[in-house]
Structure 1
Amino acid sequence: MKVESQTHKLLLVLAALGFGLVIFAVLPHGAGITPDSVGYISVARHILSGQGFVDWSGQPFVEQPPLFPALLAAISFVTRQDPASLGGVLNALLFACTIYFGGLLAAQLATPRIAVLIAGTILFSRPLFETSIETWTEPLFNALLIGVLTVALTKRNSGWLIAFSIGLTLTRYAGIALVGCVGLYFILERERPALVARYFILSLLPVALWMVRNQLLTGHAAGERAPSITPFSRQVVDAGMVVAKWGIVSLLGISAYAVKRTPARDLFGLVAAGNLLFMILAASRTGIDTLNDRLLSASFLPLAILAGIAIQQEGRLIFRRAAAGLLALSTCVMGAYAGANALKMRRHGNFYTDPARIAQSKLDVPLDPASKIFSNDPWGIYLINGRECSFSPRQHYYQSSKPDPDSLPNFKKRIEAGERATLVWYDPNPESFLWDADSVASGLRYRSHPGSQNSTLYEFNEPH
């Protein structure tokens, strides 16, 4: 379906507004940096220094696929800017692309007015906007997902479909599940088996090679994953609560299944449900964060377009107008929330961009260059103090009840054997799964002195 010139212009305006809103939020302090962000930044820096895919602790990077940090490194190489400063502009561009091309996709399936409304919903959505002001992979993942959905509906033989799908799987492991959903859609549409096989093989081969590399280097194809402490039933409830918070978008998206069946409805429904199911299974089997807007954002995007399809397919004018009005009202409410978040981010930064946190984490004393560094905040040590750092010994795995009985004994054996090490301990302890500082230092010879206003340095085997 040909999209009107006026619709293009309106979508470009919304995309520019999305870009500007992200830049407004991140301009003073930069894009938000969290522990995940430090991982991507450290890998990008190591790529630029010729060390390859290595993280903040000096270990092979395996927890996520390589595309996002590689992209940061490439942009850093061209612009001569540090990767830590690039997340804001990159994600603002990706967010703008998601708004524009998401609106174009909706315009292929609904009226221009509905398409513009859906683009506005994407612009002001909590899951998509909030991930765009952080140095995270979700903006790249969602932009690539729009590409996959668009091409899968129109040009299944196109090389662009393979390219976008490869990008999905090399950005987040959840992309593997979404490629599976697209392949299942082709099967349900009775597509030629040869095309389906070609799609699966070419889309999954690069990430398969990456996972083989991980297995050879670390013994884990996708990183070390300990069992979750949260059962499947609880994860289902958590996911349901997140989807319920999306309100009218979720309601209209699901209601698309009460109207006329279309290929687009099947594709978007499979992708939304597939991502949801993958994340529920991942969270119930491995120790990751509680399911939230961020982790489920790839389900919001197809649900938003499904909402447009539901409005378009509703035959009664009064109901169509009522649904569009409710969605517009919901978009306005989300817009107010996004604006408040942008102001908060602009004033205070976020996590490691917060000036107060940087002041607390910046050590007042130099770290011995010959000493191996351990900490209960290794990300802050790497990002703010510029040193590779490992976690201090842990009692059990993150978000898991699985104990790690070897962690503390192995640490003490290395110290007793004469290895020089420094433990940088921050109070209060941000990571409850770690041993406390007294347990780590107990029985070992060390000297301690204060670091910054909330840290203590324990030096083991340091020369006097």
Structure 2
Amino acid sequence: MTFTDKLKNYDTLVFSAIAFFAIYLFCSYNGVGISPDSIMYTSAARNFVAHGNLHTFNHAPIVDFPVFYPTYLGIVSFITRLDPTVFGWWLDALMYAALIYCSGYIMSRFVPTSRIYKWLVLAAIILNPGLLQVYTYLWSETLFILEVLLFMIVFKQYLLNHAGKWLIFAALIAAIACITRYAAITIVGTGGLILLLDRTLPIRKKIGHILIFGFISISLLVGNLWFNALHTGTVTGPREPSITPFIKNLYYFGTVFCEWLGFTPNMYFLATTLAIVILIGFIAALAFNFYRRKLNSYENLAITFALVYGSFIVLSSTFSRYERINPRLLSPMYIPALWGYTSWGLLFLKRLRNPKLRTAVAVVFIGLMLGYITKIFMIDHLRYKDQIADEYGNPGYTDNDWKESKFARYLKTMDKSIFKSNVVIYSDAHEAVYFFSGLSSYLVPHKFFPKDVEKFFKTKRFYLIWFKNLEHSEIINLTDIQSRIKLKTIKDFGDEGGIYEYDGQNQNVQN
């Protein structure tokens, strides 16, 4: 092995160490960030270790999310004998370091390749505010994004010789990814699309490989969804129709890229146009590679995944309601999109015959990349100052607002015997109730489901733990409840919320 070959690995290891340190810095004040999703994963992981099942804190199987990430946390917890909230930061740091190593490995095999290009892009990946946010929380994207790159590495091996073992290996990675994030169906779509477009495969072999890949890659997902339907009556939990039209979702998609490019909000008028240009650009690049019969490169794999994933998020947001398109939701797309829109420059430079012109173009590219890296570094620095230097912490249930909350402190230390064991507890933030008190509770119903609302009001007796600062517009609020029934106040925390009881004997406010 030559010194140059060794350097391909050593420089990537240096960047991986920097990535690990970056996550350590952003988790140095209050540990890993904890969001409502994090609590769902954590409670399922705890039950996996304690009882061998994947039930959440409300004693129901985890359905809104696939089963692998909480299983993964549970396995690590069983081995280390630590809680996910304790080991979460270093697990995220290790996965971020692994992500950077995989990225460096892939870029070392671009055609053509460039060490300076790799260094600049690795820096842009490490410093991306969206990825840094994802990898400082207990979120399944941390594992899914790594699975995307592992799939690319293995599927590339398959494309080199069309060996069945590599196809099966790639399909197995896709299968695991599909039970990590439901959106991983885009990995299946990516592999299937490239197999379909691959003109080097004889038609009979192509059909066989598509069937093998498709069957294996969706097998675990089908099993997960079947289990959900069997035990809960829904395949992915209750889902509401979208309230955002296609054009609005395109705009939100574009605003994320505006943010990644360092644009200020007053430039978001470019968002829709930018989204259209980005997606059409990927389509054009894929068509060009199909025409050139160059579908087996890492660059093309990145372009195809970015196109499939981006289209899936925009379209699914148009038909199903979930969180608005944001950097977290599009984070799996960042690295492939970055490669797709920068790697062509290497080929362009190679084709330039004039050395002076080639040098000038390279200097311009390096200058643009350094400017971009500086821009996102300043965004990260501002986040570090706000959250770590000023001692606020990663926003979530472990930040200073919650640490200083009288309500949260009370829930941690209260005498739980005030709640009778046979009486159900409701809340507008049931995950917060569990995180602070360890009690199981149920979310008050969504306004969109009137039958659930009426069922709630027919409950003869219940407790209500209400966080005023977490009220959500899509669920019935405290005013709605008090307009129908009379609540007895058990504990009042003013603007923070309170604990209430309905005993079924209080006079109805509304008949």
Mapping of 1:111-150 within 5 angstroms?
A: 111-150=114-153
Instruction: Indicate which of 411, 418, 424 corresponds to 1:372.
Output: 424
Mapping of 1:324-403 within 5 angstroms?
A: 324-346=366-388, 347-349=391-393, 350-360=395-405, 361-362=407-408, 364=410, 365-367=414-416, 368=419, 370=421, 371-394=423-446, 396=447, 403=448
Amino acid at match of 2:452: S
Which residue does 2:355 correspond to in 1?
none
Amino acid at match of 1:177: T
Which residue does 2:87 correspond to in 1?
86
2: distance between equivalents of 1:52 and 1:424? 27
Which runs of at least 4 in structure 1 moved beyond 6 Å after TM superposition?
248-253
2: distance between equivalents of 1:387 and 1:232? 40
8 and 51 in structure 1: CA distance in 2 versus 1, 3 angstrom threshold: closer
Mapping of 1:409-420 within 5 angstroms?
A: 409-415=454-460, 419=461
Render the CA deviation track for 1:94-131: whole Å, top value 9, x for unaligned: 11111111111011002222222222221111221111
Give the Å deviation of 1:414.
2.0
TM-score (norm 2): 0.82
Which residue does 2:255 correspond to in 1?
241
Give the Å deviation of 1:437.
2.2
Amino acid at match of 1:339: H
Which residue does 1:460 correspond to in 2?
502
Render the CA deviation track for 1:133-153: whole Å, top value 9, x for unaligned: 111111211111111112212
CA RMSD of aligned residues (A): 2.7
Give the secondary structure class of the aligned counterpart of 1:414: coil
1: distance between equivalents of 2:469 and 2:175? 42
409 and 310 in structure 1: CA distance in 2 versus 1, 3 angstrom threshold: same
In structure 1, stretches of 5+ residues that fail to align are: 397-402
Mapping of 1:56-455 within 5 angstroms?
A: 56-109=57-110, 110-156=113-159, 157=163, 158=166, 159-190=168-199, 191=201, 192-193=205-206, 194-247=208-261, 254=281, 257=285, 262-263=294-295, 264=297, 265-314=299-348, 315-316=351-352, 317=358, 318-346=360-388, 347-349=391-393, 350-360=395-405, 361-362=407-408, 364=410, 365-367=414-416, 368=419, 370=421, 371-394=423-446, 396=447, 403-415=448-460, 419=461, 421-442=462-483, 444=485, 446-452=487-493, 454-455=496-497
Residue range with higher mean Cα deviation, 119-128 or 190-199: 190-199
Give the Å deviation of 1:425.
1.4
Render the CA deviation track for 1:281-317: whole Å, top value 9, x for unaligned: 2211111111111111111111122244212111331
Give the Å deviation of 1:164.
2.1
* Contact 1:26/1:345, CA 8 A, preserved across alignment: no
1: distance between equivalents of 2:466 and 2:451? 20
Amino acid at match of 1:220: T
TM-score (norm 1): 0.90
2: distance between equivalents of 1:412 and 1:425? 16
Give the Å deviation of 1:341.
2.2
Render the CA deviation track for 1:145-199: whole Å, top value 9, x for unaligned: 1111122122354254233212221111111122111221122123432222211
Which residue does 1:10 correspond to in 2?
11
2: distance between equivalents of 1:273 and 1:452? 49
2: distance between equivalents of 1:177 and 1:128? 19
* Contact 2:242/2:319, CA 8 A, preserved across alignment: yes
Residue range with higher mean Cα deviation, 85-94 or 334-343: 334-343
Identity across matched positions, percent? 22
2: distance between equivalents of 1:173 and 1:59? 19
252 and 426 in structure 1: CA distance in 2 versus 1, 3 angstrom threshold: closer
Q: Normalized per residue, which structure has more helix?
A: 2
Aligned residue-pair number? 452
